[in-house]
Every structure is written in C-alpha cells, then in structure tokens.
Amino acid sequence: MKGITPSTLDRIRLIRENLESGNLDLQRPSHLSWLCEQLREVSYDLHEELLMRGDEVRAIKVFEEFYLQFDRMAKFFSMVEEASE
C-alpha cells in the first residue's frame, strides 16, 4: 500500500490477527492496554507519514485525536491492571 510502511502494515495485521483469533480478551485491562499501545503506534506512523508529505494540519489532527487518546487509554488500562494485581 502506497504511503504506509511495512512495519505499520505488520502492526495492523498483528492487531487484526489477535482480534480475529480471540487471543485478545477485551475484558482484561492488560490486553486493552496492549491494543491501545499498538493503535497508538499506528497513529504515530500515520502522523509521521503526513508530516513527510507536508500535511502538517492533518498530522497535528492525527496526533491530537488519535495518538494522544490511545496513549491515555493505554496508560489508564495499565494502571487498572496494576491496581487489580
């Protein structure tokens, strides 16, 4: 796919495979944290790609609306997991 790095595609495939196979238990905070971390990294890759294309407005939007949100969620689920141990 044009404009998407192989590592981003691999990360998306890994997310999809884990969701399809049932390897992710969406009731477990640690699994939700992992999912949010992966989506955060995909968001960052998209952010970087937009910057390289010179589309700073969209890059900032992706960073604020996706990267930061997934980062917050990943930290939240990680804290929930730690509290439940």
Distance from the first to the final alpha carbon of the chain = 42
Per-block average pLDDT, block size 10, for the chain (85 residues)? 78 95 93 96 95 95 97 96 86
Range of the domain at 28: 6-84
Please tell me the predicted confidence (pLDDT) of residue 3. Answer: 66
Domain membership of residue 1 (yes or no) is no
Domain membership of residue 74 (yes or no) is yes
Looking at beta carbons, which pairs linking 44-47 to residues 24 or more positions away fall under 8 Å?
45/4, 45/5, 45/7, 45/8, 45/11, 46/8
Q: Which DSSP helix (H) or strand (E) runs through 37?
A: helix 29-52
Whole-prediction pTM value? 0.89
Domain membership of residue 18 (yes or no) is yes
